[in-house]
Structure 1
Amino acid sequence: MMPSARFADLEGASVLITGGGTGIGARLTEGFARQGARVAFIDIAEAPSRLLCEALAREAAHAPLFLKADLRDIEALRGAVQAAAQAHGPITVLVNNAANDIRHDAETVTPSEWDDNLSINLRPHFFTAQAVVPGMQKAGRGAIVNFTSTSFMLNMGDMPAYTAAKAGIIGLTKGLAGRYGKDGIRVNAIAPGWVITERQRQLWVSGDKLEAHIARQAIPREMGPDDMVGPCLFLASDASAMLTAQTLIVDGGLL
């Protein structure tokens, strides 16, 4: 369920979300759109992204703008950022959400597979931020929210490139926060626990694995994409005006 809280400063704000067409990203797109923001999102999945835009066009004050791009292509990424700013004005909220948590064995990962993994899970976070910062500097304000994961905190051993990237996001968050705080730009991270998206349910949920995981949480219920919306809106809004360089763990209290 979408959060009931309203953040007045997000109404009309120019927001860019990576990976905003499916999974957690789709709910973030909806969440910001319902706040009255002018949302653009980058995704490679065309069909679900267009369906999302059509649905929200009937319900939100501003229909989201879908920009198709492969985040591994930095020039295409920069072009999408420029298109978002041209459509909605300088971006003042960036949500770096896109990721691919494909499993892989440490023993067999090749250099090209390692590089490809980080080109999805870490590199775009930096280059998208790099592309939006000049507009934020001119505006004198901005909020960047980087999605990381609790997976590397739990010593998960079946996706080492992914967990390395997710740990790197926290370092990047702190570095960018230190660099751009003087410009009124705040940079924070959200570390979700196990969020049960359609993809997760199809690929990774099996047997009593989910039940055992939920039993370890302080709040013993299944966590869904909607549960990431409220924390992200908070970090993007002026409700968190003096909060930067932080990582907010949203995992139902498991850690």
Structure 2
Amino acid sequence: MTHILETESVLQAKAAGATGAIYPSLVDKRVIVTGGGSGIGEGLVEAFVAQGSRVAFIDIADDASRAVVDRLTPDAAHTPVFRHCDITDIDSLKRAMAEMEHELGGVDILINNAANDDRHSIEEVTPAYWDERMAVNLRHQFFAAQAVVPAMKRAGGGVILNFGSISWHLGLNDLVLYQTAKAAIEGLTRSLARDLGRADIRVNTIVPGNVQTPRQEKWYTPEGEAEIVSAQCLDGRIQPADVAALVLFLASDDAKMCTGHDYFVDAGWR
């Protein structure tokens, strides 16, 4: 019977467009992605849809997000759901999370992906800008997790994956507030993993390197990108699909004993 069920799951995922590893345990799982309208987030939405998961995502970019839904819907086992939400407004975030939970019928997996890496100098930082940077890069991850924990407990477990960044491990220029927030996320993950583990809720951090997205290409010239590749152990530029491959594994039952740690997909950038 198990073999039959897994075969049906594999067929579902293939029908939805999965091209890499297929995880039967992700079929029909209820997934929420923050910042799913572009870049890495778009790659995550696409990857879970291709696994046959039920996916909802939030973003502030309405046109781009609707385009993601339109692009993925024809081949999707479950049409992805988009909700407009400003993650710095916690009341709005809570409402959006509740709406998505209701539409999905629960939450099994939360991907805390949303962030903003605008460059800034030390001299230009004001208390208001500090608070705004923490709100967009750190605070929402806790409150999104807080919002889904009751549903995960009712379901008997779940997965929370928080997105960190390679940047603070390298100490890059002009990102002091972004790197402060991203460093704190690794502490948040450790704490949540400890407090939620007995409820069978696993919590890990994804630490991407420099991923080739339109936004990152805004910051780097071709010469700058070549410098990044030369500092990596591997040739080539990391793609959203490379990050999604790690996320899918950690979200699946194959990673059922993985929690409280940081997982890098950075091509060995040092």
Same fold (TM over 0.5): yes
Q: Among residues 171, 175, 188, which one is paired with 2:187 in the alignment?
A: 171
Distance in 1 of aligned mates of 2:126 and 2:67: 36
Which deviations, in whole Å up to 9, do the C-alpha atoms of 1:12-64 show, x marking residues without a partner? 01100000011100010000000000000010000010011011111111111
Q: Among residues 37, 56, 60, which one is paired with 1:44 in the alignment?
A: 60
One-letter identity of the residue aligned with 1:94? L
Distance in 1 of aligned mates of 2:207 and 2:40: 12
Distance in 2 of aligned mates of 1:175 and 1:226: 28
Report percent identity of matched pairs: 44
Say yes or no: does 1:236 pair with 2:251.
yes
Instruction: State the aligned residue count.
Output: 254
SS of the residue 1:144 aligns to: strand
Distance in 1 of aligned mates of 2:77 and 2:36: 18
SS of the residue 2:148 aligns to: helix
Q: Any gaps of 5 or more consecutive residues in structure 1? A: none
In the alignment, what sits opposite 2:9? Answer: none
Q: CA deviation at 1:104?
A: 0.3
SS of the residue 1:232 aligns to: helix
One-letter identity of the residue aligned with 1:67? R
SS of the residue 1:99 aligns to: coil
SS of the residue 2:260 aligns to: coil
Q: How big is the alpha-carbon RMSD for the aligned residues of Structure 1 and Structure 2? A: 1.2
Superposition pairs for residues 1-255 of structure 1, below 5 Å?
A: 4-201=20-217, 203-255=218-270
Structure showing greater relative contact order (alpha-carbon pairs closer than 8 Å, 6 or more residues apart): 1
Q: CA deviation at 1:157?
A: 2.8
- Residues 18 and 51 of structure 2 are in contact (CA less than 8 Å); yes or no, is this contact kept in structure 1? no
One-letter identity of the residue aligned with 2:88? R
Which deviations, in whole Å up to 9, do the C-alpha atoms of 1:149-203 show, x marking residues without a partner? 01000011311110000000000000000000000000001100100101111x2
Displaced runs of 4+ in structure 1, greater than 3 A?
Answer: none
One-letter identity of the residue aligned with 1:205? Y
TM-score, normalised via structure 1 length:
0.97
Distance in 2 of aligned mates of 1:89 and 1:129: 17
Which deviations, in whole Å up to 9, do the C-alpha atoms of 1:53-77 show, x marking residues without a partner? 0111111111110010100111110
Determine which structure has the larger helix proportion and give its number.
2
Q: CA deviation at 1:102?
A: 0.2
Q: CA deviation at 1:85?
A: 1.0
- Residues 78 and 131 of structure 1 are in contact (CA less than 8 Å); yes or no, is this contact kept in structure 2? yes
- Residues 3 and 230 of structure 1 are in contact (CA less than 8 Å); yes or no, is this contact kept in structure 2? no
Distance in 2 of aligned mates of 1:21 and 1:126: 21
Distance in 1 of aligned mates of 2:269 and 2:112: 24
TM-score, normalised via structure 2 length:
0.92
Which deviations, in whole Å up to 9, do the C-alpha atoms of 1:185-236 show, x marking residues without a partner? 00001100100101111x2111411111101211111111111111000111
- Residues 2 and 229 of structure 1 are in contact (CA less than 8 Å); yes or no, is this contact kept in structure 2? no
Which deviations, in whole Å up to 9, do the C-alpha atoms of 1:59-116 show, x marking residues without a partner? 1111110010100111110111111111111101000000000000012200000100
- Residues 210 and 238 of structure 2 are in contact (CA less than 8 Å); yes or no, is this contact kept in structure 1? yes
Distance in 2 of aligned mates of 1:63 and 1:40: 9
Q: Any gaps of 5 or more consecutive residues in structure 2? A: 1-16
Distance in 1 of aligned mates of 2:38 and 2:28: 23
